[in-house]
Amino acid sequence: MRKRERKYQRVDLESLNKVFDEKVVFLPAELASQISGKSKGMILDISANGCRIAVSTQLEEGEEIKVSFTIHNRSVNPSAVVRWVVTHSHVYFVGLEFQGMSDRTREFLWAISAVAMMDAAEISKMKEALK
């Protein structure tokens, strides 16, 4: 299987902490699927096009799901397709590709990802300039 190139850089939660004043320790998500039913998971990293999430419910590659999570007081509720699944013990690490998301929400996720990749000094200057 040929690995697809990413459209957007993924960032982990530690990197997101450089962006927001409040600490992002956990990024819980709710998932719903006609095949697997409802479950909860924890987003490990995120981009404007998808995320890597840990769940206790097995999902199948190609499965279509609905994802709901809140980031920086903003609800995000895209549809997604399961692109890959890796099992470790009783946890499933899943790669999701977002679909059916508004341009505004995708731009929001892109913006926080882009800022999270900046170094701390650049972020401080930007925050100061926006005051």
- Structural domain includes residue 109: yes
> For residue 47, what is the domain's CATH number?
2.40.10.220
Q: What is the pLDDT of residue 7?
A: 65
Q: Which amino acid is at 96?
A: L
- Structural domain includes residue 63: yes
Token readout for 106 is 């995708």
- Structural domain includes residue 38: yes
Domain that includes residue 64, residue range: 11-130
Q: What is the pLDDT of residue 67?
A: 96
Q: What are phi and psi of 86, to 5 degrees?
A: -125, 130
Instruction: Collect the ranges in the chain with pLDDT lower than 70.
Output: 1-9, 12, 15-24, 117-124, 126-127, 129-131
Looking at the chain, the number of H-run helices and the number of E-run strands are 3, 8
- Structural domain includes residue 68: yes
Q: What is the pLDDT of residue 108?
A: 86
